[in-house]
Amino acid sequence: MPTAVAGPEIERLIQLLARLPGLGPRSARRAALHLIKKRELLMAPLAAALETAMEKIEICKVCGNIDTQNPCTVCTDSRRDASIIVVVADVADLWALERAHAINGRYHVLGGTLSPLDGVGPQDLSIDTLISRAHETPVKEVILALNATVDGQTTAHYITELLQDADVKVTRLAHGVPVGGELDYLDEGTLTAAIKQRTLF
Ligand code: ZN
């Protein structure tokens, strides 16, 4: 155990910050110090924001998104195309697609991907609710925006099978050369997928 340089209250703050993704012990220390130095400007508002968020956060009963209203902002937005459901594994993926303004549809958050090795089966994900949503009237397309990993693709196949008798088009993300990408730097898997899914010029 390294010796503590500050009291237990500050050490606890550092330990909690170190549990955040992307923050190791060093950056957690730096973040804690920054918060302490800016306690009026940053720490107090952050503490208040955390408390309010804690009280108000809800999981959307329709799509599984995280919001402070239920159904969420996305599900209640009438400007969105209700005929499209974009299926993602995690809320982080939904937020990423939204940041990119990639598509103006609705979403469905599965809560993970099928992973027999980790003991994640269909009952652990919100697949049932997705299938029933896909049978609802305005839905015409289900886009499987899942990771290009074995688990992601296993999940995509599984869902596609279940949607066979639904009157929807099931599509998935293109796998290929990233925008700005140089062929020389791509791994074999990406290159092969890009060749296989070539489109008409
Ligand atoms: Zn929602």
| CATH of residue 73 | 3.40.1360.10
Measured in angstroms, how far is the CA atom of residue 60 from the centroid of ligand 1?
5
| Per-residue CA distances from 126 to 65, 86, 112, 121, 133 (Å) | 12, 14, 9, 11, 11
Instruction: Look up residue 159 and give its two tokens.
Output: 């869902």
Please check whether residue 200 lies inside any domain of the structure.
no
| Ligand 1 mean position, distance from CA 76 (Å) | 7
Distance 154 CA to ligand 1 centre (A): 25
Let me know if residue 96 belongs to a domain: yes
Q: Distance between CA 86 and CA 18 in Å, rounded?
A: 33
- DSSP-assigned letter for residue 2: P
**84 contacts 105 by C-beta, under 8 angstroms:** yes
Q: How far is the CA of 155 from the centre of ligand 1 (A)?
A: 21
Q: Would residue 187 count as lying in a domain?
A: no
How many A from CA of 74 to the centre of ligand 1? 6
What span, in angstroms and rounded, lies between the C-alpha atoms of 193 and 55?
45
Distances (CA, A) of 17 to 47, 102, 124, 135, 184: 13, 32, 29, 43, 39
Residue 59 lies in a domain: no
| Listed residues: CB within 5 A of ion ligand 1 | 60, 62-63, 65, 71-72, 75
User: Is residue 34 one of the residues assigned to a domain?
Assistant: no
State the total domains in the chain: 1
Identify the pLDDT of residue 111. 96
Predicted local confidence at residue 1, as pLDDT: 58
Full domain range(s) for residue 162: 68-172
Q: How many angstroms is it from 149 CA to the middle of ligand 1?
A: 26
Residue 114 lies in a domain: yes
Distance 94 CA to ligand 1 centre (A): 11
User: What is the whole-number distance in angstroms between the Cα of residue 77 and the centre of ligand 1?
Assistant: 10
Q: 102 CA to middle of ligand 1, Å?
A: 17
pLDDT at 178: 85
Are 168 and 134 in contact by the 8 Å Cβ rule? The answer is yes
How far away, in angstroms, is 107 Cα from ligand 1 center? 7
> Quick one: pLDDT at residue 201?
85
In a domain, 104, yes or no: yes
Q: What's the average pLDDT block by block, 10 residues per block, for the chain (201 residues)?
A: 78 94 92 95 96 95 96 96 96 94 94 94 96 94 94 95 95 88 88 86 85
Q: Is residue 126 part of a domain?
A: yes
